[in-house]
A and B are shown apart, each in its own frame.
Chain A
Amino acid sequence: MRFLTDTWLVFSRAMRLSLRNPVWVILGLIQPILYLTLFGPLLEPVASAPGFPPGDAWQVFVPGLLVQLGIFGAAFAGFGLIAEWRAGVVERMRVTPASRSALLLGRVLRDVAVLVVQGALLVGFAVVIFGLEAPFESLLTGIGVVALLGAAVSALSYGAALRLKSEDAFAPVINGLILPVLLLSGILLPMTLAPGWLQTLANLNPLTHVVDGVRAVFRGEIGSSDALLGVGLTLALVVVGVIYGARVFRKESA
């Protein structure tokens, strides 16, 4: 009970501050819409090429964008925490009896809430403007995966940030990880178009299976093995991320 109250307190404080300076929220909203508008149309002709996975261009593209949103939207969350640490906010909270996991989870939930709004807008835009066709429950599942993925990535980001405590150390770590992970996940162009060696590499990346899973969901195959693997891997990432992040918050003499 205490844990929930603490989480809520941290969440509402973080949310209030985010809404006060919504530049990042708005940028995060605009980005996927730019991708839809400026990159999506290029995919329509490609969709008839040999090797393109089942489903139409938008059923393939929108799941990729959702996963990208989940990763990009959350990976940089740690920067905000470094600023908070430097201002003494983290330490001030750590001398209160509040649960240390709540200090992490409240912030993670703020990021998740923002991602859910962004994901819903992205999907809504895709359906209304670009004629994405997918069952309603598929769309909801897609947004759910974004939320979970975002929770995992933001927990990892906070953990790493509180370990490194410096933007100069944190930025290369995040950039160094994200780019290869994105390139090897078939987010923008499906990996079925790739040569064999690249497919092999991509198969080692859990996010490839997350993207494939959401694509299966968007084709209406919610109970398929692809979909279950994707959702299962996402849940596993959440567990790993939260355990790591909570450990840092508990141990680190911030």
Chain B
Amino acid sequence: MTTKVIQTRGLRRVYKTRKQEIEAVRSVDFEVEAGEIVGFLGPNGAGKTTTLRMLTTLLEPTGGEATVAGHDLRLDPIGVRRRIGYVAQGGSTDPEARAGEEIVDHARMYGIGARVARRNGEALIDQLDLDGMWDRKCKTLSGGQRRRLDIAMGLVHRPGLVFLDEPSTGLDPQSRANLWEHIRRLRDELETTVFLTTHYMDEADLLCDRILVIDDGAIVARGTPEELKRKVAGDSVILTFEHQRSTVVVAELASRLDGATDPVIDANEVRFQVPDGASALPVLLRSMIERDLDATGVEVRRPTLDDVFLTMTGRSLRDDTTTGPPDRAAA
């Protein structure tokens, strides 16, 4: 029997501003099983952070219900708080405070005694490669160290479920890889369930056991990275042009190819999927030459999660220009 650590039904959140109501999360239904690393993927403004803040009791849902770590979100938020850890996007420590003090104080707010708090804290400092940082002021830590300190804070009461909001944003590649390693160890060694938001494709692909894709306030796809990628049949073809005006004509040409998906125009690029990229491309290029159209770049590749997102929503995940409530400011 598998245990559901998170279960949501029709979770919904509306922000009211003076002029209008913004439906940041329309209706979110999903389940998370014990011991999974689940990636919650979507562009900025899709409702990721709003959903996360509801699940962590920071924001009251406008509608729907959810059970988190065995407790009802609405009826027993304190029960939920006791059992979850939350690592926010923007940090969690006072720059003037010492790292160790912050960890111990935080643990004690969960009712953990000072000695146990210190022992748990020191163990985490050690596991997260923060040796020697205990007495350092938080402001003297590097970005990656501070991020790991935030994670240590979120784990100090040994929660079975941890929420990480954009854990690797702003980290250099090496720190990111390092962080992923720590997150995997949480799952493997401590059997912690990890629920993380991200808008990085590679993070979702390489780190997560399962992915939930949210767009415009609703879940649009779910599955393992492999399952999701299989949904995109064939190869991705990306053509780049010097001038945007060429893209419309080429998109029209591409749509006539056998089995091609509706091409998407993204600035100077045209993207689409075909069952066999290698044989479709010469056909397309020939008809382009007939019309005197010249591509500056041509790329054929196996589908990535970005293509999945593109197929699902008609938008690129890298495109962060979507309008929506800035998750924190609107709260």
Contacts and interface: CB of A to CB of B under 8 A. Distances in A.
B222 to A, nearest CB: 26
Interface in A89-114: 89, 91-98
B94 A17 contact: yes
Contacts of B88: 88, 91-92
B110 interface: yes
B105 A92 contact: no
A97 B93 contact: no
B143 interface: no
Interface in A212-254: 253-254
A84 B94 contact: yes
B68 to A, nearest CB: 12
Contact of A92 (B53, B57, B106, B108): B106
Interface in B87-102: 88, 90-97, 101
B214 interface: no
A92 B92 contact: yes
Interface in A121-177: none
A134 B11 CA distance: 64
B59 interface: yes
Interface string A12-24: 0100110011000
Nearest to B92: A92
B212 interface: no
B108 A253 contact: no
B81 interface: yes
Contacts of A84: 94
Interface in A1-40: 2, 5-6, 9, 13, 16-17, 20-21
A84 B105 CA distance: 15
A198 to B, nearest CB: 38
12 contacts: A9-B109, A13-B101, A13-B105, A17-B94, A20-B96, A87-B91, A88-B91, A88-B150, A92-B106, A95-B57, A95-B58, A253-B58
B93 A87 contact: yes
Given A88-B92, A254-B58, 5 more contacts: A16-B101, A89-B94, A96-B81, A97-B111, A98-B110
Interface string B32-74: 0000000000000000000001001111100000000000000
A95 B105 contact: no
A9 B58 contact: no
A83 B293 CA distance: 56
Contacts of B93: 87-89, 92
Contacts of A97: 78, 81-82, 109-111
Nearest to A12: B105
B123 interface: no
Contacts of A253: 53, 58-60, 331
B84 interface: yes
Nearest to B89: A88
Contacts of A94: 58
B22 to A, nearest CB: 14
Contact of B86 (A2, A17, A95): A95
Contacts of B150: 88
Interface in B114-152: 150
Taking chain B's interface residues, is the majority helix, strand, or loop, or is none over half, making it mixed?
loop
B153 to A, nearest CB: 7
B91 A95 contact: no
Nearest to A21: B96
Contacts of A98: 109-110
A84 B138 CA distance: 13
Interface centre among B59, B82, B94, B101 (most CB of A within 10 A): B94
Contacts of B106: 92-93, 96
A91 B101 contact: no
A206 B108 CA distance: 40
Contact of A88 (B90, B111, B331): B90
A5 B114 CA distance: 12
Contacts of B109: 6, 9, 93, 96-98
Given A9-B105, A13-B105, A88-B91, A95 B56 contact: yes
Contacts of A87: 90-95
Nearest to A94: B58
A17 B96 CA distance: 7
B293 to A, nearest CB: 51
B328 to A, nearest CB: 9
Nearest to B95: A87
Contacts of B97: 13, 16-17
Interface centre among A94, A97, A254 (most CB of B within 10 A): A97
Contact of A95 (B84, B95, B108): B84
A17 B57 CA distance: 28
Interface string B209-225: 00000000000000000
Contacts of A96: 81, 106, 109-110
